[in-house]
Amino acid sequence: MSKRIVVPGELVTEERKKLGSHVFVREGRIYSECMGLVNDESDFASVVPLEGKYMPQVGDVVIGIICGEKFSVYEVDINSFYSAMIMKRELREVLKPGTVISAKIIKVNELNEVELVQPRMFFGGDIISISAVKIPRVIGREGSMLNTLKDGTGTNLIVGKNGRIWVKGGNTDLLKKAISKISREAHLDNLTNSITEFLEKENPNAQRMNKTIAQEGEE
């Protein structure tokens, strides 16, 4: 069973409902503003976009890449249309362009400029990118999908709300395949079960792995 996919301008519902995100009203009917998944199970009608750049939200933890510096700040690429910065006083180290960090968004001003705090540097590893709107599927309900990915691949991974996943150790190739499968099938129900079966088939030894993932690579 899958949720209904709509394209821009397609009818979402003819019922009288409160407007959620990415929808609009015309002649009493509710239509979609984007390509996405319909969510009209409550008093609200909304559409969850299937693609799109990350929209910064205060409180989100993101994975960023240092891309420059000026005066007292570092400029950070957070996979968004909007610029992000972190004050140099937040760090003890001098950061070079290309350095990967995780950080928390503390402020988004009226110009959509983003201020970051609580930086953590990563050393080595890889970055996997996925549409930011699909990150909740990578995490799963109460972290169920995230635990499935860790246990099934033996990798250490940190998920950013901005569509970036830092991974190190374990079977990273298998993890990338699993993330790609999640991206393709994000609109389907029972996705965690599907990924569990996929990992067990691809890596039969996963059940015997040590499930304690060392937090290597972070300082």
User: Per-residue pLDDT for 102 more than 60?
Assistant: yes
pLDDT of residue 54: 84
- Residue scoring higher pLDDT (52 or 120): 120
Q: How far apart are CA 79 and CA 153, in angstroms?
A: 26
Mean pLDDT of the chain: 86
What's the mean pLDDT in 174-187?
Answer: 91
Confidence of residue 3 (pLDDT cuts 50, 70, 90): low
Both tokens assigned to 168:
């190190």
Mean pLDDT of 88-110: 92
CA distance 134 to 162: 10
- Given this model, what pLDDT does residue 1 score? 43
Segment among 68-77, 180-189, 202-211 with least mean pLDDT? 202-211
pTM here? Answer: 0.73
Mean pLDDT, residues 144-168 taken together: 95
Helix 144-153 vs helix 172-184: angle between axes, to the nearest 10 degrees?
150
- State yes or no: pLDDT of 208 exceeds 50: no
Residue 217 has a pLDDT of 38
Q: What token pair was written down for 41?
A: 């199970």
What are 35's two structure tokens?
A: 């390509």
pLDDT at position 216 is 36
What's the pLDDT score for residue 146? 95
Q: Is the pLDDT of residue 219 over 70?
A: no
Count the alpha carbons within 13 Å of 5 in the hemisphere toward its beta carbon: 9
Given this model, what pLDDT does residue 21 score? 80
Beta bridge partners, 24, equal 31
Residue 39: is its pLDDT beyond 60? yes
Q: Say what the pLDDT of residue 182 is.
A: 93
**C-alpha–C-alpha distance, residues 150 and 206, integer Å:** 10
pLDDT digits (tens, 9 = 90+) for 62-97: 999 999 998 899 999 999 878 899 999 998 888 999
